[in-house]
Amino acid sequence: MYKIDFTHPSAVHFVGIGGISMSALAEILADAGFKVSGSENTRSALADRLTSKGIKVFYGQRRENITDDIDCVVFTSAIRPDNPEYIAVQEKNIPCLTRGQLLGQLMKNYRTPIAVSGTHGKTTTTSMISEILLRAGTDPTLSVGGILKSIGGNFRIGGSDCFVTEACEYTNSFLSLFPKIGIILNIEEDHLDFFKDLEDIRHSFRKFAELLPEDGCLIINGSIERPGEITDGLACRVLTYGPDEKNDYYPTDIGYDELGNAGFTLHGPGGSVRRISLRLPGEHNVYNAIAAAALADLLSIDGSVTCEALHDFAGADRRFEYKGSVGGVTVIDDYAHHPTEITATLKAAANYPHKTLWCVFQPHTYTRTRTFMRELAQALTLADRVVLADIFAARETDSLGISSNDLKLALEDLGRECHYFSTFDEIENFLLENCINGDLLITMGAGDVHKIGENLLGI
């Protein structure tokens, strides 16, 4: 594998530079004096930010973007062997790395690299950890899978030995990392265009846990099925969190305020007890906060600082994000695209004041939609009214013969009224005609469905 020499900056080209993680890595290298360029298929706010920083961004991935002065090329997991830039790199024999491999090499520069993994909740938990570390004055380097308002973007370069990043399991990317502290939030079926089944996914998470050194620590959700298969025999220390006293950390007295925001009493090792109030809804965020608090304790951060930071954290971009109100209709946007995430978000919304709960859902990838068709439909029944947009294909080109209309039929089979429109304009017109004062409208999905709410709000 090609090794980046961080003491001698070189020329690095990123294929797929506009992605949330790739853009962060590109900025980190550019800040370190590297000559950075990259390509992206479509223009985005992240790509525009890179351009404003003096990074050359090519729109359209073409072989001529790969010039002879490039020392290394970094690829996202979405790039396939038929990509013209990939072909050019192979023909020119230019060294290349995956995004995960570059991230892993970067982590080696820090004494305390922290990796947050799990099928769900990575961005929110990483954001919570970031807020705690910043409040504690630890000056961390951060790489977050979403836009964090307190750092004005998705990454921050710090001056300490602490580095925090999300660890994505897709294509086993997280197995290229070198964490000292690892967090596993949950393990469920997802990314079945790569993994064979849930057991294959669990095997990868076990391999991730095995990356941790003897003087490291794994913080893991004790509610994961058969947790011993993940933790037994590890060289590192293991801390668990979960719903009861069988775990090192557990909550009691979970409650919600008039806006649905969660609060709970946190019990920790040695009989420690503290009350934590969040500005986020949902029981899932209670457990995200517990994982963050456990990490803070491990780093010897004062418990009061942790409580203050968690209380002040108002959420990451696209995670139950309040967008505004129009005609008395409250508009929320959320990234949920897996049945478990949809269920958690809609259950959280039940505690938010509203008359009718509307969910405009954009399925994400044909593979996920086909795999979880029944589960997606069941989760969406938690909304009062459901509107479906076309499937967001993302990296996929084969429709597998399915469409959002198939999901509509599955919802109707469960007795839930559902509407499907092929364009955002049709959806927006339908909502304008049917949403009334006091309703709660959630735009939901990992694609560009957020544009619907933004268009209604005129932002």
Beta strand ranges found along 76-198 (DSSP E): 96-98, 112-117, 141-148, 153-156, 162-167, 181-184
125 classed as catalytic:
no
The DSSP letter of residue 257 is -
Catalytic residue, from 123, 138, 171, 371: name it. Answer: 123
On the 0-12 / 13-18 / 19+ scale of CB atoms within 10 A, 393 is middle
Separation between Cα atoms, residue 388 and residue 310, nearest integer Å: 34
Separation between Cα atoms, residue 50 and residue 16, nearest integer Å: 12
Q: How is 223-235 classified by DSSP, letter by letter?
A: TSSSTHHHHTT-S
Separation between Cα atoms, residue 341 and residue 347, nearest integer Å: 10
Whether the Cβ atoms of residue 263 and residue 256 lie closer than 8 Å to each other:
yes
Q: Under the phi-then-psi rule, with left for phi > 0, alpha for psi from -120 to 50, and beta for the rest, what region is 328?
A: left
Q: At a CB cut-off of 8 Å and minimum separation 6, what does 101 contact?
A: 1, 176
3 classed as catalytic:
no
Catalytic residue, from 27, 40, 85, 166: name it. Answer: 166
Q: How is 296-343 classified by DSSP, letter by letter?
A: HHHTT--HHHHHHHHHH----TTSSEEEEEETTEEEEEE---SHHHHH
Separation between Cα atoms, residue 217 and residue 11, nearest integer Å: 36
For the chain, the distance separating the N- and C-terminal CA atoms, rounded to the nearest angstrom, is 46
Q: How is 395-425 classified by DSSP, letter by letter?
A: T----TT--HHHHHHHHHHTT--EEE-SSHH
Catalytic residue, from 40, 122, 180, 408: name it. Answer: 122
Using a CB cutoff of 8 Å and minimum separation of 24, what contacts does 280-283 make?
280/124, 280/313, 280/314, 280/315, 280/319, 280/320, 281/256, 281/320, 281/348, 281/349, 281/351, 281/352, 282/320, 282/344, 282/345, 282/347, 282/348, 282/351, 283/254, 283/344, 283/347, 283/348
166 classed as catalytic:
yes
Q: Catalytic positions, please?
A: 122-123, 166
